Structure 1
Amino acid sequence: MKQNIKKTFYSIEEYLETDIDMQEIKLLILYLNKSKINDAIMSDLCNKLRESIDLYDLKLFLSENKFGQNSFSILGLELQNIVNLQSLLLDLKQNKLNNEKIKSLAETLGKCQKLESLILYIDQNQITNQGVEYLAFGLKRCLNIKTLEIDLSNIDIGSKNLNQLFFELKTCVNLTNLSLRLSQCNISSQRHINPFEGLRKFQNLKNLNLNLQCNQINDDQIVLLGIELGFIASLTSLFLGFYFNQISTSGYSNFIEGISNCKGLFTLKLYMGQNMIGNEDILLKDSFSKFQNLNNFIIDLSSNQFTLLNAMQLSYELKQSETLTSLALNMSSNKFGSEQTNKIIINLKKIKKLVNLQTYF
């Protein structure tokens, strides 16, 4: 049996000076944050990478470095020459990367034809919406990609560029797992554009994770998202983060109605704290009776505007579910006291197949 299949290094010196035979390494993890990597060091690093001829999984943690002028180009050339590379993690946070550097990275990734899994952390740089556009054009060439995770937090993407990102990624027909961190990305900046249009094209997507907190998303936009998601018949797991937006009761109700069309959905996690939900009567549409396979549901509605009456209406809605076995509900910091919650809990316990119930008031 081959040895040294997986190896982890915690400094440039440790990696460059190791006497381990790197030819048999298949999974390589390098923690090189804050390593002051200049052009010469990057060249040495890439020369060492070349020794791992069977490498298929590479995780590079390179945040808070001071790359030389050509370091990024040197790394890019080496990555596209790793012929068997299937899985790549690049942590490039806090490196003062600009749009041109992202363009170069995107072109490199587009040439990694065997890549099936990509995790990319590029937040806290100097990237604008133009950089996101470059990234979208590069990623659409990764035709074999199955798992994609990108952190774009705090980049002024806007509605148009998020829309374009989804449209470009639709060419990745093998994509089954998609995770995008989009907090504070000014998603709602262009009200006349549906930022989520194009999601319905992901017909093989099984797991979707969208963190959309702090984007001033309103009722119209969350309803559009619900409609788009309702077309993805393959979806089994959905995680959505909506903290600190502008969603009211009607937006919430119509959104739930939209995603109830995801007939294969098994796990749903909604984090909707710090909105305006509960400010009016819950629209009783029996939406939860329409979920055909929903088994696990976690919903955070803390710090909204629920009165006891509206919270009771929500519990009646949830009681209609024919499939739920596990429910976690957080309604803390609303407009009713914890001593008034007994009737809500009694209702929830009447959910037909419920086995596990967790409540927070």
Structure 2
Amino acid sequence: MIQQIKNYYYLKEFLNSPLLSHQVLHIDLSRNRIGTIGVLNLGSALANCINLSNLKLNLDQNLIDDEGASGLGSTLAKCFNLSNLTLNLIRNQIGGEGASGLGSALAKCINLSNLTLDLSENKIGEEGLSGLGYALVKCINLSNLRLYLGYNEIGGEGASGLGSALSNSINLSNLKLDLRYNKIGDEGASGLGSALANCINLSNLALYLYGNKIGDEGASGLGSGLANCINLSRLNLNLDQNQISDEGASGLGSALANCINLSNLTLSLSYHQIGEEGASSLGSALANCINLSNLTLDLTDNKFDGEGALGLGSALANCINLQNLTLSFFRNQIGDEGASDLGSALAKCFNLSNLTLSLTFNEIGGQGASGLGSGLANCINLSRLNLILYGNQIGKEGASGLGSALAKCMNLSNLTLDLCDNKIGDEGALGLGSTLVNYINLSNLALYLKFNEIGVEGASGLGSGLANCINLSRLNLNLDGNQIGDEGASGLSSALAKCMNLQNLTLDLWQKQFIYFGL
């Protein structure tokens, strides 16, 4: 039997509702400034919802203090049948005492199996976090926990204490922990990793630790701890905006290589000082994750060049089960040779079916773009490709060469190609368009060509090429910031009218010198 969801957006409306009838309840009082008195009244009413099993309660920005948080928890503890709880307390005035009190009360919800608790942007501190953690482990049936604690001044000891507490949650299988911007440092990262190693049933883990002043020691220590999570199959680890260099990247990678059951990994190491050695070592280590089928690796704004990209790509070719890969190398120094070598390396990922590759602002020219395409053309099982080359210098030859090469991906059905700001001009647009007829299985195409000095001839030629994509059903074409004028727009639209199977079209044609035209 499907239980009916009751939604309330006003406190008074809920207080006057038939409390005993509620089983699945969503209450959204966001930014209502109900304060301590209001939240205590709310809690008293919830205590009478004795049949409640699922509750989503949004109380962000409501001037709730320690007394209000503790009182709310105490009343929720009386909801004996509560199994699923989502509690949003963002941007209130809750300190350590309130967090501990809330946790102690929730520990009495003995049937709770799924808990999402958001205390971001309060002031719970180290002591409050430890108290919260040790209270929550008493929820003996808890299997899924999402805990958001960003901007709470918890420090290294607080992070370690939380980890130690959670390690006693013997039934915990899914954990999402957001500790962004809490100054936990190396000590906190290492301590957290060591503690989580004791969560023996943990299979899915998401850790958001960006902006925490974690260096090489902390990254390596965190990895070493996680390597002992023997049942871990899915890991999302975000360490953006810390202080990690080659040593930390290598240490982290080597440790994660011991996660033998890992099949899904998202690793974000943006805005660091990782160079060639770190990128290559990271790849070599990840190649030992033999069961890895899905990998997302974000190394945006680091310091590695073409050799680092090659080393990383070559190593990933050893991930024989890899099917879905996302690589973001935004703003590094890969260059032509690195782009070509990266393509050749990825061609050896024989089982790759979905690839997203972001190489924005990497000093790649025409030769590099063509070489990259030639390499990717050998990914024989590739069906979906997102290739982002925004802000390079590939020019007309690069656009044509890339288009010709990718046309050899015979199984490609979905393509997103971002060549914005690359000065491909009319000749590049014509060359790219002429290759499109060879994309015989292409059904979905997104083509971003903003700011490329394309004129009338290029727009018309591009349209003529698209008209030959006989299986195309969805097209997103962006030609903003060019000079196609009314003549080019007319030629483009006339050509697109011949796409007989086109069902969905998004067309952006804002021009630097806009001239009115009719379609």
So what's the TM-score if we normalise by structure 1? Answer: 0.90
SS of residue paired to 1:328: strand
- Render the CA deviation track for 1:36-68: whole Å, top value 9, x for unaligned: 554433422331342344555444434444333
Seen in structure 2, the aligned counterparts of structure 1 residues 159 and 78 have a Cα distance that, compared at 3 Å, is: same
Please list every run of 5 or more consecutive structure 2 residues that lacks an aligned counterpart in the other structure. 2-52, 54-80, 164-191, 480-519
Verify the 8 A CA contact 1:230 1:258 in the aligned structure 2.
yes
Verify the 8 A CA contact 1:280 1:310 in the aligned structure 2.
yes
SS of residue paired to 2:410: coil
Aligned residue for 2:209? 92
Letter matched to residue 85 of structure 2: K
1:296 aligns with 2:414: yes
1:158 CA displacement: 0.9
Bigger relative CO (Cα 8 Å, ≥ 6 apart): 1
1:222 aligns with 2:339: yes
Letter matched to residue 475 of structure 2: L
Verify the 8 A CA contact 2:235 2:266 in the aligned structure 1.
yes
Letter matched to residue 116 of structure 2: I
Aligned residue for 1:249? 366
Query: In structure 2, what is the Cα distance between the partners aligned to 1:31 and 1:90?
Result: 15
Aligned residue for 1:105? 222
- The correspondence for 1:66, drawn from 124, 129, 153, is 153
1:80 aligns with 2:158: no
- The correspondence for 2:127, drawn from 40, 47, 65, is 40
Query: In structure 2, what is the Cα distance between the partners aligned to 1:339 and 1:320?
Result: 21
- The correspondence for 1:319, drawn from 434, 437, 441, is 437
Verify the 8 A CA contact 2:306 2:337 in the aligned structure 1.
no
Verify the 8 A CA contact 1:56 1:86 in the aligned structure 2.
no
Task: Flag the structure with higher helix content.
Answer: 2
1:84 CA displacement: 1.6
Aligned residue for 2:137? 50
SS of residue paired to 1:112: coil
- The correspondence for 2:251, drawn from 130, 134, 138, is 134
So what's the TM-score if we normalise by structure 2? Answer: 0.64
Aligned residue for 1:199? 316
1:23 CA displacement: 5.2
Deviates more, 1:6-15 or 1:338-347: 6-15
- Render the CA deviation track for 1:190-247: whole Å, top value 9, x for unaligned: 6797343201011111111111111122111111111111111211111111111111
**Greater Cα radius of gyration, structure 1 or 2:** 2
1:307 aligns with 2:425: yes
Query: In structure 2, what is the Cα distance between the partners aligned to 1:350 and 1:107?
Result: 54
Aligned residue for 1:8? 86
1:137 CA displacement: 2.0
Seen in structure 2, the aligned counterparts of structure 1 residues 265 and 312 have a Cα distance that, compared at 3 Å, is: same
SS of residue paired to 2:415: strand
Seen in structure 2, the aligned counterparts of structure 1 residues 48 and 148 have a Cα distance that, compared at 3 Å, is: farther
Seen in structure 2, the aligned counterparts of structure 1 residues 343 and 279 have a Cα distance that, compared at 3 Å, is: closer
Deviates more, 1:184-193 or 1:324-333: 184-193
SS of residue paired to 2:106: coil
Aligned residue for 2:471? 353
Verify the 8 A CA contact 1:299 1:329 in the aligned structure 2.
yes
Deviates more, 1:266-275 or 1:9-18: 9-18
SS of residue paired to 1:341: helix
Letter matched to residue 214 of structure 2: L
- Render the CA deviation track for 1:302-345: whole Å, top value 9, x for unaligned: 11111201211111222211211111111110122368512211
Query: In structure 2, what is the Cα distance between the partners aligned to 1:170 and 1:124?
Result: 25
1:349 CA displacement: 1.8
SS of residue paired to 1:70: helix
Aligned residue for 1:277? 394
1:116 CA displacement: 1.2
Deviates more, 1:54-63 or 1:126-135: 54-63
SS of residue paired to 1:131: helix
| Number of aligned positions between the proteins | 361
1:148 aligns with 2:265: yes
Query: In structure 1, what is the Cα distance between the partners aligned to 2:390 and 2:113?
Result: 43
Letter matched to residue 71 of structure 1: G
- Render the CA deviation track for 1:77-97: whole Å, top value 9, x for unaligned: 542232221111111122222
1:104 CA displacement: 2.6
Query: In structure 2, what is the Cα distance between the partners aligned to 1:68 and 1:191?
Result: 34
Seen in structure 2, the aligned counterparts of structure 1 residues 58 and 88 have a Cα distance that, compared at 3 Å, is: farther
Letter matched to residue 303 of structure 1: D
Verify the 8 A CA contact 1:63 1:93 in the aligned structure 2.
no
Aligned residue for 2:118? 31
Seen in structure 2, the aligned counterparts of structure 1 residues 320 and 184 have a Cα distance that, compared at 3 Å, is: same
Query: In structure 1, what is the Cα distance between the partners aligned to 2:208 and 2:454?
Result: 44
Seen in structure 2, the aligned counterparts of structure 1 residues 189 and 269 have a Cα distance that, compared at 3 Å, is: closer
Query: In structure 2, what is the Cα distance between the partners aligned to 1:226 and 1:189?
Result: 11
